[in-house]
Structure 1
Amino acid sequence: MKKIFLNLIQRIRKFIAWLWNQEGSPSQRALGLAVGIFSGCFPFFGLQTLMGVFLAKIFKGNSILAVVGTWISNPFTYVPLYYLNYRLGSLILNNDKNIVDFSHITTNELWLQGWYLSSRLIIGSICMGLLSGMVGGLSLYFLLKKLSNKI
């Protein structure tokens, strides 16, 4: 068991070293991570990685770090992340409307309710993605700059 654990630790260290030595300037690597985090904040399961790589190509960031940044959204963080995004979107779009009782709902009300929920989730995801992407990207940028000056 100890050998398996040590092997796992060694693999994790190699993976982190590989990530750390990615191509590009500190700004390109930080930009890649930032757009990945931004993309990971959206509830587009399966498309977050594609969105992150696409944005990294457009903004000339590191594509590998964009993929890693999308891992902010994973099975352990789905519920808290999207709940927080929804609450933020509700705060921005004014939370004056209550959710209807689904036992007495018409088809038209169901469509309106879907728009009500999804618009708040998307607006919240945009704002949370911008904020967390900037924080993550700037943190990596300053870390890379600080460590490159020491070498």
Structure 2
Amino acid sequence: MKRLKQWLLWLWHHEASRGQKARGLAAGVFMGCFPIFGLQTLLGIALASLVRGNHILAAAGTWISNPLTYIPLYWFNYSVGCWLLGPGPALPTLQAIQQGGIWELGLAISSRLLLGSTLVGFLSAALFGGIYWWLLKRSQQGRAHT
């Protein structure tokens, strides 16, 4: 527990401006909302490079999705996609699968999941990045008054 606390404090005080830290965290959270297992961290760091954000916080931000949150997060993202595009298809029958209907189902599901992931990722990134920026600003102001 002590190591975790030290590591979190190190992340909190890592050298970068408030904006770089917040953009890095936001980039990681955004990429963490997508079901691209194994690539989230790399893509989060790449996105942080594009927005000139902190790479370490981008990597940490992708942990918004982890083995404990995969199912609820992606189910929620899919539900948001269904809300925007309309209900998803019912599970296919064996006959539909034999006739190649599985490909249509895959597109219907993936389009809803990706659209939902994009919207949830954007809103989550704005929320987490904004709160982190505000906390950093508040922390800096507190140190200035002492």
TM-score normalized by the length of structure 2: 0.93
Superposed structure 1 runs of 4+ greater than 4 Å apart? none
| Structure 1 unaligned residues grouped into runs of 5+ | 1-8
Matched residue SS, 1:27: helix
Deviation at 1:22, TM superposition (A): 1.1
Aligned length: 142
Matched residue SS, 2:100: helix
Q: Partner letter of residue 98 of structure 1?
A: P
Report the Cα distance in structure 2 between the residues aligned to 1:53 and 1:139, rounded to whole angstroms: 20
Residue 69 of structure 2 corresponds to residue 62 of structure 1: no
Alignment of 1:1-150 (within 5 A): 9-95=1-87, 98-105=89-96, 106-150=98-142
Kindly report the root-mean-square deviation, in angstroms, between the aligned alpha carbons of the 2 structures: 1.1
Deviation at 1:43, TM superposition (A): 0.2
Q: Any conservation in 1 of the 2:89–2:105 contact (CA below 8 Å)?
A: no
| Structure 2 unaligned residues grouped into runs of 5+ | none
Report the Cα distance in structure 2 between the residues aligned to 1:72 and 1:23, rounded to whole angstroms: 23
Report the Cα distance in structure 2 between the residues aligned to 1:39 and 1:23, rounded to whole angstroms: 23
Q: Partner letter of residue 39 of structure 1?
A: M
Report the Cα distance in structure 2 between the residues aligned to 1:107 and 1:39, rounded to whole angstroms: 35
- Residues 71-123 of structure 1 deviation map (CA, whole Å, 9 limit, x = unaligned): 0000000000000000000111122x532433222342110000000110000
Report % sequence identity.
Answer: 44
Q: Partner letter of residue 32 of structure 1?
A: G
Report the Cα distance in structure 1 between the residues aligned to 2:60 and 2:12, rounded to whole angstroms: 12
TM-score normalized by the length of structure 1: 0.90
